[in-house]
Amino acid sequence: YRVGALEFRGVHCVGMPGPASKRRVPVSQAGMTDPHQLFDDTSSDQSRCYGAQRASGDLGYPTTTSSPQADFLAHPVSNMAVAYGSSLAAQGKELVDKNIDRFIPVTKLKYYFAVDTVYVGKKLGLLVFPYLHQDWEVQYQQDTPVAPRFDVNAPDLYIPAMAFITYILVAGLALGTQDRFSPDLLGLQASSALAWLTLEVMAILLSLYLVTVNTDLTTIDLVAFLGYKYVGMIGGVLMGLLFGKIGYYLVLGWCCVSIFVFMIRTLRLKILAEAAAEGVPVRGARNQLRMYLTMAVAAAQPLLMYWLTFHLVR
């Protein structure tokens, strides 16, 4: 990618920020060879552009001195001040970047948002119709899981976050059509859904700890998987608004079964994987317990989907 960027530099930095599409071509070709490159890197081109612009501007100023501002900017002391100010800003930015990683794992979160339209489309299709999908393994590349935009099985946080917000808005819409709406109800819906999500995450983490499952299922992964049910909930409520209770029950039933199958197939690989991959004769009771845990987690999804939406459709 770096070679491609250097090649394009002459074309882009004449004076306008060039079209981004030209920069994307080398990335997509070289995408699979650089797993740590989650997003297109536009910073280096931009700074080079600014540097070229500023250099040409500074060269131009002494020759067209007709205004006091140009004199002020050409003064060597103000040049130093500009340099000092920009270095201060860079230091401050570094400090913030270093410290914010202690509270919010920004780099880890970035992985979950590295999605593109094709991935979102395929994932939504998978959430509604998971029956024909064969391979549920997440591809790994040099010990790290591949970013979601390269593998449809990888969990992401974009769809759950968007679906959550859409659910709040659709709930407001549904309440509005029944003349039960007031603005604080929106906050109440959001708080309630978040509280259920937190409770689910804590319950699953507790049961994973009690059953001593050694998985690579991180908390954020778990939040991502549990957030996928909002998609089905949105579908159900929208159908309920359009076609009444029958439409709501039909679509909700379909989405409940799909989410159930989706969760079982995904969690089976995470929770039960190492038991099957070890090749050791599996202790029956422990494996059975893990299977029960997977089924319980998957069965809780339809229940919660119904519980969080039935009061919205009358």
Partner 1 sequence: MAFTLYSLLQAALLCVNAIAVLHEERFLKNIGWGTDQGIGGFGEEPGIKSQLMNLIRSVRTVMRVPLIIVNSITIVLLLLFG
Binding site for partner 1 (CB under 8 A): 188-189, 191-192, 194-196, 198-199, 209-212, 283, 286, 311
Q: Which residue, 103 or 209, is less far from partner 1 as judged by CB?
A: 209
The minimum distance between CB 125 and partner 1, in angstroms, equals 31
In this structure, are residues 305 and 233 in contact, taking their beta carbons and an 8 Å threshold?
Answer: yes
The minimum distance between CB 108 and partner 1, in angstroms, equals 24
The minimum distance between CB 23 and partner 1, in angstroms, equals 43
Q: Which residue, 65 or 192, is less far from partner 1 as judged by CB?
A: 192
Round to whole Å and give the CA distance between 45 and 212.
49
The minimum distance between CB 194 and partner 1, in angstroms, equals 6
Q: Which residue, 128 or 282, is less far from partner 1 as judged by CB?
A: 282
Q: Which residue, 152 or 213, is less far from partner 1 as judged by CB?
A: 213
Q: Which residue, 147 or 208, is less far from partner 1 as judged by CB?
A: 208
Q: Which residue, 91 or 192, is less far from partner 1 as judged by CB?
A: 192
The minimum distance between CB 289 and partner 1, in angstroms, equals 8
The minimum distance between CB 48 and partner 1, in angstroms, equals 47
What tokens does 201 get? 């995450």
Q: Which residue, 146 or 233, is less far from partner 1 as judged by CB?
A: 233
The minimum distance between CB 286 and partner 1, in angstroms, equals 6
In this structure, are residues 171 and 189 in contact, taking their beta carbons and an 8 Å threshold?
Answer: yes
